[in-house]
Chains A and B, each alone.
Chain A
Amino acid sequence: MGKAKDRTGPLARRPDNSAFKQQRLPAWSPMLTANTVLPFFYLLALMCLLLGVWLLLTVQSTQELKLDYTDLGSCSECYELRKNVSYAEQGCRCKVEFYIDQTFKGDVFFYYGLRNFHQNLRRYMDSRDDAQTVGRESQLKNPSTYCEPFIKDKDGVPIAPCGAVANSMFNDSFSFNYQTSSGHIMPVPLLRKGLTWYTDKNIKFRNPKTGNQTLAQVFEGTRQPLYWQKPVYDLDPSDPTNNGFINEDLIVWMREAAFPNFKKLYGILNRAGDPFTHGLPKGNYSIQISYNFPVQPFQGRKLVVLTTLTWFGGQNLFLPIAYLVTSSLILLMAVVLTVAWWKFGKDGKNMKE
């Protein structure tokens, strides 16, 4: 295009004879006829069908257990207690029991789930300061206005981490117990680390530079979010490296869910010792719950979800069903087209056009 033409002579303005300019680039231009289209349709229907069936079987092979403990058993007391905000500081513990009739083979993942909790509201999602949680010192004590109304407390002390998302962090905690056939009760060992991605912990979330100071000193001059009982640098007393903005529970929470009903990873079964080397054996289990998170105001529910995973993920039937529906639609279309072809165009000359 931009090439200057220095040709002279009688054919100076002759266009270049290049494949592109003469539109001679190789192109596939199928002549669509019934003979090519109909088989393609049937083939496509078959492919979708197979894919759908395969995915369905994969999904079926996962094991999943959902336990809604909102007001289950002894937790109903805690549920009533949490209705009143003035008792928010008051702890409440409860215990739920459940039975697994089939061994969960392989890795077992423990989730907590929430229903009707809109983490996806625009104002809620915006109410955070990524610059702060990435460890920028200037932002630490001077959070962005996005965090409104959780920027500062009543006294004007900046909140870290600021914003509605961090403020509403899920703060129930669980300890799982297994009752062996002999009646012996033993704790189910959970890995509470490795719940996040590398990028979460090292890029998206970082603590402010500590230098010689302790984490507590760095966060001095900031305040924990209003609903929190512990400051951010003390979230995990057992592991000092799991504190501050890189606390895994915090990171998991801060990755907002797309839908109002969601589950978030709480821990992974540690299969180091018996009897959990092959997974979660069948039998009776109980969960000790430190019941803190109020769901009553927004008619929410809380659950615990135990599941095994395949390459495909958890128990999600959407994709297999989508494929099966698509398959049947294509099949329907193919049949209609076949009938049309049979009736009108089978020996029509114009098919060859």
Chain B
Amino acid sequence: MMRFLLLFSRQGKLRLQKWFTPVTDREKKKVIRDVTMLVLARPPRSCNFLHWRDLKVVYKRYASLYFCTGLENQDNELLTLEVLHRYVELLDKYFGNVCELDIIFNFEKAYFILDEFLMGGEVLETSKVAVSVSVEEADTLQETMEEYMSKPAY
């Protein structure tokens, strides 16, 4: 299973954090600091995997955002790259040409989409369409449309 999923910018600013095991706040900060530093220090054309503590860290850079996750030993690293890619595709479909700003201003949406795709560190739904449909249908249930429906002007 995945232990955590982090999204951070090239300057190291955190944009999303999902933890799949109970971790104290202090420990969370430490993990974020360590992993962010490790990943940002990697030269451009390196392999996307590295070892940190007892976990395998898989990361991929999409434009200005790093998508980074910590795996346990028996997890398939190559497949996890596909998982990260799938998440980006889902974000892209939802926001239409997603960019970092979308995720900054609509972070809660990013979480909602993530929660329809992954749960407890495992893939929940393998069909792109099914995930998008669930998120959109759930959106229609929201009572106050004005708060959330329109894309904000930055």
| A and B are interacting partners | no
A residues lining the B interface (CB < 8 Å): none
B residues lining the A interface (CB < 8 Å): none
